[in-house]
Amino acid sequence: MFGPLGFSLAPQIRASRTLSKWFLPFSKWYTDRMGYRKFGLKYDDLLVEEREDVQRALGRLTQEQSYDRAFRMKRSIQSNVLRKELPKEEWLPESQDVRYLKPHVLEVAKEDTERAYWDNLSVQRQK
């Protein structure tokens, strides 16, 4: 599975100073090459949203966040129609590419895991 719940080595790389020193320039270059910032999108706009948990997470955004998300989507679709990147001053700067949705997706996943735990709990009498 892709997205925030998928398998990732990022925490291990981030934990090691040497590894992050090697990988950081590469990851920056790679993120930039992905090109979504040239269409004014944030990384979390690319999350697969046709999933129940991501849908619930989307419902937890603040009004302002959902409005901005819809705006970015519209703008990028328009650029796609025009087969053209946005003008350079409208590209998303790296500083604004924050994970606004990921914490909510993780929270929802945690809730689902907890529900599954309580649903499948086997209770033992205390001795």
Partner 1 sequence: MFALKSSTRSAHRLARSFATVVDSAGYKVASFDANQPTSSVTFLVKGGSRFETKPGVAHALKNFAFKSSAGRSAIGSIREAELYGGVLSASLTREHLALTAEFLRGDEDFFVKLLTEFVQSPKFAPWEWAEYVTPVVEADTAAAAADPATTALELAHTLAFRNGLGASLFAPAHNDITSTDIAAFASSAFSDVAVLGTGIDQTTLSELVKKYSKKAPASSTVSSPASTYFGGETRVAAHGPDTVFIGFGATGSSSHNLAALSAYLSPEPHVKWSEGVSALASQIPEGTSVKPVYLPYSDAALVGFLIQGNDIKTAGSAVVAALKKAASGVSAEEFTRASAKARFAAASSIESREGFVNVLGSKVLATSEPSASAFLKPFDAVTSSSVSQAAASILKSKPTFIAIGDLATIPYADEIGL
Closest CA to 5 of 56, 62, 53: 53
Over the window 96 to 125, marking each residue x when it contacts partner 1 by CB under 8 A and - when it does not, the resulting string is: --------x------x--xx--x--x-x--
Question: Is residue 48 a contact residue for partner 1 (CB under 8 A)?
Answer: no
At a CB cut-off of 8 Å and minimum separation 6, what does 107 contact?
A: 57, 60
Closest to partner 1 by CB, 42 vs 104, is 104
Closest to partner 1 by CB, 88 vs 125, is 125
- Whats the size of the chain, residue-wise? 127
Stretch that binds partner 1, among 35-43, 58-66, 76-84, 90-98 (CB under 8 A): 58-66
Closest to partner 1 by CB, 7 vs 118, is 118
Q: Are 99 and 64 in contact (CB under 8 A)?
A: no
**Alpha-carbon distance 77 to 61, whole Å?**
21
CB atoms within 10 A of CB 26: 9
Q: Which positions touch partner 1 (CB under 8 A)?
A: 56, 59-60, 62, 104, 111, 114-115, 118, 121, 123
